[in-house]
Amino acid sequence: MKHLSESKTIINSKKMTKNITIIGIGHIGSSIAVTLKKRMNCIITAVDFSKKNLQFALENNIVDKVSEMNECFANADFVFLCIPVKFIEDLLPEILNNVDNNTVVIDVGSTKKDICQKIRNHKNRKQFVAAHPIAGTEYNGPQSAIEGLFDNKMNLICESELSEKSVLEKAKEIFSVLKMNTKFIDADEHDKNLAYVSHLSHVLSFALANTVINNNNLHSSVFTLAGSGFASTVRLAKSSPEMWIPIFLKNSENILQALDIFIDNLLEYKSLIQNSNSETLNIKLTEANEIKNLIDLK
Amino acid sequence: MKHLSESKTIINSKKMTKNITIIGIGHIGSSIAVTLKKRMNCIITAVDFSKKNLQFALENNIVDKVSEMNECFANADFVFLCIPVKFIEDLLPEILNNVDNNTVVIDVGSTKKDICQKIRNHKNRKQFVAAHPIAGTEYNGPQSAIEGLFDNKMNLICESELSEKSVLEKAKEIFSVLKMNTKFIDADEHDKNLAYVSHLSHVLSFALANTVINNNNLHSSVFTLAGSGFASTVRLAKSSPEMWIPIFLKNSENILQALDIFIDNLLEYKSLIQNSNSETLNIKLTEANEIKNLIDLK
């Protein structure tokens, strides 16, 4: 509530309707749209290469208007880039070339280093805020829009010192309408840490699904034997290849390092199980149990 | 509802209070206790090596009585073994030596082959039902008892042909009071398939926690950057070593096979990421996405 009332004082006190352009009306873009529409005076314009997604978003009142890329910047107060990280990097320089002086451009990509690097010396860098709202589900498309998806979640902003102060303030305000807690982090640190607490989870979940699907050794109805534990670890395997392949490739160095440590751990488990080494297994599992005290997310 | 009403006709029509002994009053044992107490006329006696667990269960009305092992079989209609699989195997022959002629003994262990093997030729084998209710969470102890934990979940019974018909019927009835759907499966098949859709998930979740905990390369507050995806894949790392080490060792052959295939998949991801092979990554992720259509568990 603190966030919402704060933002009301600032964004809404101007009594002006804000023009918000959302490029990429998938899960994140559409969830931003439905949440902002409910909480502030705004007109939301969507851009997406998928005509089907645009039509769905319009018909379901997720957005107010649809537009072509070259017409979507005029009078925009905010432009959100909610597309795969590779496309953010490709499009961002051109977008910064074309926006008005007062427009705040925010990306919500899951990797930050290359994106920040790409426009570090752009003449309009100061109008840009490199953000990563840590929110989302394994679903995709505007069909999966969730109002309040970002409530009480963490938002990370990188290289904030390169955004103009007023631009950064406006970005923080709009994230506070989304009820997010904003934290600042170095872009390299961001990519390294997220490799371990997000990207690696996706690789292993995809690999788990690959291990079980089309495995001829298994019962034809093997999945009826699965419980909530399997469902939990394989959940992320439902995630979109379009979103995740670019993340894997953009953050490959950190992900490969995390993957190596993870595989080493698995090889150690393999050897401990092979040798019935209960004692060391107990040390490993007891260490892993520490996670209880380290995260309280469900 | 079908299950409950069916069971009412059979178990409750006798107008007799059933004596139920639960050996091991942890998460599963205590959840069976609270659920049965609510749904049928019964007196529940608990046995556990932990005096603290017994006291908690008694004080919180999870069970009616506590007992020592050597006194817990007299007049028992049902004996549930809800202890780590190694102990089930160790204790089962002696338990079958000591129960009354009318007692039904049911184990709920997560591996079945060795347990079935151990008492295959026992003179009282016919009084035993080898079961595996596919239910549970990552929590343990009687503090984590959940009434209705088993509702609409799958229960697997192995080597049912070695249980006396009336014994099997009684076991099915009590599982139907728990509102479980019972399915019969060969013990070898059970262990092989569960290695892939349960045990492997636990190994990888423990290994994921080990990869991130005490990793000096990471930010001291790395866990504040974690989202629900990480939480989901690392959830099982909270599971009890006492329960899981014996499962890993009892089902080692199948788990090692599953682990090998899983590691091969990870090595393939590693190579595809290293070589920026988007095309093959897309094939792998698209195959993994099939999981959407194969399980509908949350």
Task: Kindly state the tokens that stand for B77.
Answer: 């209609």
Are A170 and A61 part of one and the same domain? yes
Q: Which of B285, B287, B294, B296 to mutate to test the interface with A (most CBs of A within 10 A)?
A: B285
The total domain count for chain B is 2
Are A111 and A163 part of one and the same domain? yes
DSSP state of B185: -
Are B66 and B174 part of one and the same domain? yes
pLDDT for the residue numbered A62: 98
Task: Name the residue among B189, B200, B206 with its Cβ closest to that of A285.
Answer: B206
C-beta of residue B179 within 8 angstroms of C-beta of residue B150: yes
3-state class of B62 per DSSP? coil
Q: Which residues pair with A184 in a beta bridge?
A: A157
* Each residue's pLDDT expressed in tens, for chain A with a length of 298 residues: 334 444 444 565 455 899 999 999 999 999 999 999 999 999 999 999 999 999 999 999 999 999 999 999 989 999 999 999 999 999 999 999 999 999 999 999 999 999 999 999 999 999 999 999 999 888 899 999 999 999 999 999 999 999 999 999 999 999 999 999 999 999 999 999 999 999 999 999 999 999 999 898 898 889 989 989 999 999 999 999 999 999 999 999 999 999 999 999 999 999 999 999 999 999 999 999 999 999 875 5
- Which of B:216-245 have CB within 8 Å of A? 217-219, 222-239, 241, 244-245
Neighbours of A245 (CB within 10 A): 23
B-chain CB neighbours of A229 within 8 Å are 136, 138, 198, 201-202, 235-236
3-state class of B76 per DSSP? coil
The CATH number of the domain holding residue B48 is 3.40.50.720
Q: Does the pLDDT of residue B84 top 90, yes or no?
A: yes
Q: From the centroid of its chain, how far is CA A46?
A: 18
> What does the DSSP assignment read for A121-187?
T-TTGGGEEEEEE----S--SGGG--TTTTTT-EEEEESGGGS-HHHHHHHHHHHHHTT-EEEE--H
Asked which of B185, B217, B233 is the last residue of a domain, the reply is B185
C-beta of residue A73 within 8 angstroms of C-beta of residue A95: yes
Q: Does the pLDDT of residue B9 top 80, yes or no?
A: no
In this complex, do B241 and A135 lie within 8 Å of one another by their Cβ atoms? Answer: no
**pLDDT tens figures, B187-217:** 999 999 999 999 999 999 999 999 999 898 8
Asked which of A162, A185, A208 is the last residue of a domain, the reply is A185
Binning pLDDT at 50, 70 and 90, where does residue B138 land? confident
Are B245 and B135 part of one and the same domain? no
Asked which of B185, B215, B245 is the last residue of a domain, the reply is B185
Are B152 and B178 part of one and the same domain? yes
Task: Name the residue among A190, A212, A288 with its Cβ closest to that of B209.
Answer: A288
Are B209 and B157 part of one and the same domain? no
Are B36 and B144 part of one and the same domain? yes
ipTM over 0.85: yes
pLDDT for the residue numbered A5: 42
A-chain CB neighbours of B263 within 8 Å are 263, 266-267, 270
Residue B42 host element (H or E) = strand B42-47
**pLDDT tens figures, B225-251:** 999 999 999 999 999 999 999 999 999
Residue A99 C-alpha, separation from nearest chain B C-alpha, in angstroms: 31
A-chain CB neighbours of B138 within 8 Å are 229
pLDDT for the residue numbered A6: 47
Are B231 and B265 part of one and the same domain? yes
pLDDT for the residue numbered B6: 46
Are B181 and B194 part of one and the same domain? no
CA distance A111 to A185: 12
CA distance B188 to B201: 19
Q: Residue A219 sits in which domain range?
A: 190-294
A-chain CB neighbours of B295 within 8 Å are 223, 226, 230-231, 234
pLDDT for the residue numbered B15: 56
In this complex, do B136 and A227 lie within 8 Å of one another by their Cβ atoms? Answer: yes
Q: Which residue of B has its CA nearest to A287?
A: B210
Binning pLDDT at 50, 70 and 90, where does residue B295 land? confident
Are A24 and A140 part of one and the same domain? yes
Q: Rg (Cα) of chain A, in Å, rounded?
A: 21
Are B10 and B144 part of one and the same domain? yes
B-chain CB neighbours of A201 within 8 Å are 208, 229-230, 232-234
- Which of B:132-171 have CB within 8 Å of A? 134-138, 153-154, 156
The CATH number of the domain holding residue B198 is 1.10.3660.10
In this complex, do B201 and A229 lie within 8 Å of one another by their Cβ atoms? Answer: yes
In this complex, do B227 and A135 lie within 8 Å of one another by their Cβ atoms? Answer: yes
pLDDT for the residue numbered B11: 62
Are B120 and B233 part of one and the same domain? no
| Chain A to chain B Cβ contacts (< 8 Å) | 312
A-chain CB neighbours of B84 within 8 Å are none
N-term to C-term CA, chain B: 22
Contact A207/B at CB under 8 A: yes
In this complex, do B212 and A197 lie within 8 Å of one another by their Cβ atoms? Answer: yes
In this complex, do A297 and B226 lie within 8 Å of one another by their Cβ atoms? Answer: yes
